[in-house]
């Protein structure tokens, strides 16, 4: 994939305006809706079991985010995702806090067992847990991970038939047939809540329009990281002003900026 296609993916999101159905947590829900809109996608948050099948049928991608889990939401996730699978609509799973409690770990494993996930995106602790490494997760925060995350993540990707994304200062995008890193971004992203969730929304928006989920994930994370760098140039006074500048930078992001500033390596 050439970095040129990142700009093309961004343009496609803005032309097509894909609807992104979210079943997500109540912490970052508004930020996810806003990043979808600033990218050019249309967000909808809908978790009632009575309507998820109908809603997902209208969508370009489905985000499942387990950040504030309960039984009712798990039932809705399973129903929505099975419908998405039937209709070949990409499913993006963000296993927030997986590894912190057994309920989160078991629910993640159940979703991965019963549903075909297109992209599994989490931080190092969450993905390390799923991949069977010794991994620390405190609440929703990643801690130490022992072992080779690239190798374990790629094995996991092969087993699931999915793209596995591990976020951090350098993002890893792993698939059975290839792997890439994206090293754009800014440390402020690690200091505000919800940026991982927003990254999942971005991956979903790009997955709805791109030819394959690997390319979509690389493009989404490059746009995300480049926008963060542009936001930081405006010299925000702290992490929360940065968040506003970041969402503005996403809205103003030009395809050629991403093409020129993306730091992608194929490994
Ligand atoms: N120190 C950092 N430098 C640059 N980008 C970062 C840094 N920390 C996190 N990010 C970016 O912030 C987003 C969220 O990643 P992360 O903090 O790992 O997720 P989570 O919030 O789920 O723990 C990703 O796009 C990632 O690239
Ligand atoms: C703090 C918190 N608690 C439950 S969900 C959530 C937000 C997590 O967001 P992110 O994974 O993007 O940091
Ligand atoms: Mg997260």
CA distance 111 to 176: 20
Q: What is the pairing mode between strands 119-123 and 134-138?
A: unpaired
Distance 172 CA to ligand 2 centre (A): 20
CA distance 63 to 24: 7
CA distance 97 to 66: 8
Give the pLDDT score at 211: 85
Give the pLDDT score at 196: 98
Rounded to the nearest integer, the mean pLDDT of the chain is: 97
Give the pLDDT score at 3: 60
CA distance 224 to 202: 8
Q: Which residue has the tokens 């390390």?
A: 128
Determine if residue 194 is labeled as part of a ligand binding site: yes
- Per-residue pLDDT tens for 122-151? 999 999 999 999 999 999 999 999 999 999
CA distance 264 to 63: 25
Beta bridge partners of 163: 119
Q: How far is CA 190 from the centre of its chain?
A: 15
Determine if residue 129 is labeled as part of a ligand binding site: no
Q: How far is CA 80 from the centre of its chain?
A: 18
49-76 exposure pattern, b = at least 16 Cβ within 10 A, e = fewer: eeebbebbeebbbbbbbbbebeeebbeb
Give the pLDDT score at 176: 87
CA distance 173 to 153: 9
Residues within 5 Å of ion ligand 3, judged at the Cβ atom: 96, 196
CA distance 108 to 64: 10
pTM of the model as a whole? 0.98
ipTM score for this prediction: 0.99
Ligand 1: residues with CB < 6 A are 123, 142, 167-169, 171, 185-187, 189-190, 195-196, 199, 221, 224-225
**Is it the case that residue 1 has pLDDT exceeding 60?**
no
Give the pLDDT score at 177: 84
Q: Which atom of ligand 2 is nearest to the CA of 65?
A: 5
Q: Which of 22, 26, 28, when mutated, tests ligand 2's pocket best, judged by the most ligand atoms within 8 Å of its CB?
A: 28
CA distance 123 to 83: 27
Determine if residue 45 is labeled as part of a ligand binding site: yes
Determine if residue 198 is labeled as part of a ligand binding site: no
Q: Which atom of ligand 1 is nearest to the CA of 123?
A: 18
Q: How far is CA 227 from CA 39, 153, 192, 194, in A?
A: 11, 26, 15, 16
**Is it the case that residue 265 has pLDDT exceeding 60?**
yes
Tokens of 135: 């991994």
Q: Which CATH number fits domain 4-266: 3.30.930.10, 3.90.1300.10, 3.40.50.720, 3.40.1190.20?
A: 3.40.1190.20
Question: Does the CB atom of residue 63 touch ligand 2 within 6 A?
Answer: no
The number of the ligand nearest the C-alpha atom of 198 reads 2
Distance 213 CA to ligand 2 centre (A): 24
Beta bridge partners of 44: 21
DSSP assignment, residue 189? G
């Amino acid at each position: 994939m050439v970095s040129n296609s990142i700009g093309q993916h961004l343009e496609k999101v803005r032309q097509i305006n894909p609807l992104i159905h979210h079943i997500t947590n109540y912490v970052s829900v508004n930020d996810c809706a806003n990043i979808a809109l600033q990218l050019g996608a249309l967000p909808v948050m809908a978790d009632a079991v009575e309507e998820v099948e109908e809603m997902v049928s209208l969508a370009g991608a489905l985000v499942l985010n387990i950040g504030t889990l309960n039984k009712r939401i798990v039932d809705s996730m399973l129903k929505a995702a099975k419908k998405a699978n039937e209709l070949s609509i990409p499913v993006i799973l963000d296993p927030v806090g997986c590894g912190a409690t057994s309920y989160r770990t078991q629910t993640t494993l159940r979703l991965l067992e019963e549903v075909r996930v297109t992209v599994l995106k989490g931080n190092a602790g969450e993905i390390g847990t799923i991949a069977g490494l010794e991994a620390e997760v405190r609440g929703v925060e990643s801690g130490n991970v022992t072992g080779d995350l690239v190798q374990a993540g790629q094995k996991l990707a092969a087993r699931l038939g999915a793209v596995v994304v591990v976020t951090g200062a350098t993002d890893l995008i792993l698939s059975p047939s290839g792997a890439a890193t994206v090293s754009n971004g800014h440390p402020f992203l690690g200091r505000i809540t919800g940026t991982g969730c927003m990254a999942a929304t971005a991956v979903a928006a790009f997955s709805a329009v791109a030819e394959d989920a690997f390319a979509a994930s690389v493009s989404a994370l490059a746009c995300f990281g480049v926008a963060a760098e542009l936001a930081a140039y405006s010299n925000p006074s702290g992490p929360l002003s940065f968040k506003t500048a970041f969402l503005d930078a996403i809205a103003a992001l030009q395809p050629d900026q991403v093409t020129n500033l993306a730091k992608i390596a194929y490994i």
